[in-house]
């Protein structure tokens, strides 16, 4: 992921064709390291492709990825064959707020606003 981020930073910086050295320089500036074979793989996959088209095709792929609670209903209906009873809604747990007592300035013998 950091290699992709470095690639996109290079593109945003105006370098339309970043090299291994460019990506290593970006990653090195923040103290990150990357393997040369991973950088070579990324560069070979994006060679000759437009970044905006790559991002658009990635969005289309993520649109087909299921997320949320619909999966449990689909599995329950497929297993039951017919109408499955609705699962009771889970009640959100109430978090108890623990208030920390503030230390009093009176103990120090002075006030911040005096």
Neighbours of 76 (CB within 10 A): 13
Q: How many residues does the chain have?
A: 114
Position 67 confidence tier, pLDDT thresholds 50, 70, 90: confident
DSSP conformation class of 109: T
Mean pLDDT of 99-112: 58
Q: Which stretch of DSSP H or E encloses residue 57? A: helix 51-63
Q: How far is it, in rounded angstroms, from Cα 15 to Cα 21?
A: 12
Position 63 confidence tier, pLDDT thresholds 50, 70, 90: confident
Domain 2-63: assigned CATH number: 1.10.10.1410
| 18 has a pLDDT exceeding 80 | yes
- pTM of this prediction? 0.55
Percent of the chain's residues with pLDDT above 90: 40
Structure tokens belonging to residue 82 = 């017919």
Instruction: Please name the residues in contact with 83: beta carbons below 8 A apart, sequence gap of 6 or more.
Output: 77
| 83 has a pLDDT exceeding 90 | no
Place of tokens 């920390």: 100
For 13, phi then psi, to 5°, come to: -75, -5
């Amino acid at each position: 992921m950091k290699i992709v981020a470095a690639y996109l930073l290079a593109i945003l910086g105006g370098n339309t064709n970043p090299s291994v050295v460019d990506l290593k320089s970006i990653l090195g500036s923040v103290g990150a390291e990357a393997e040369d074979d991973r950088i070579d793989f990324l560069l070979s996959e994006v060679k000759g492709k437009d970044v905006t088209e790559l991002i658009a095709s990635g969005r289309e792929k993520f649109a087909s990825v299921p997320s949320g609670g619909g999966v449990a209903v689909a599995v329950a209906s497929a297993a039951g064959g017919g109408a499955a009873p609705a699962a009771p809604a889970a009640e959100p747990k109430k978090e108890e707020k623990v208030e920390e007592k503030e230390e009093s300035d009176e103990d120090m013998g002075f006030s911040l606003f005096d």
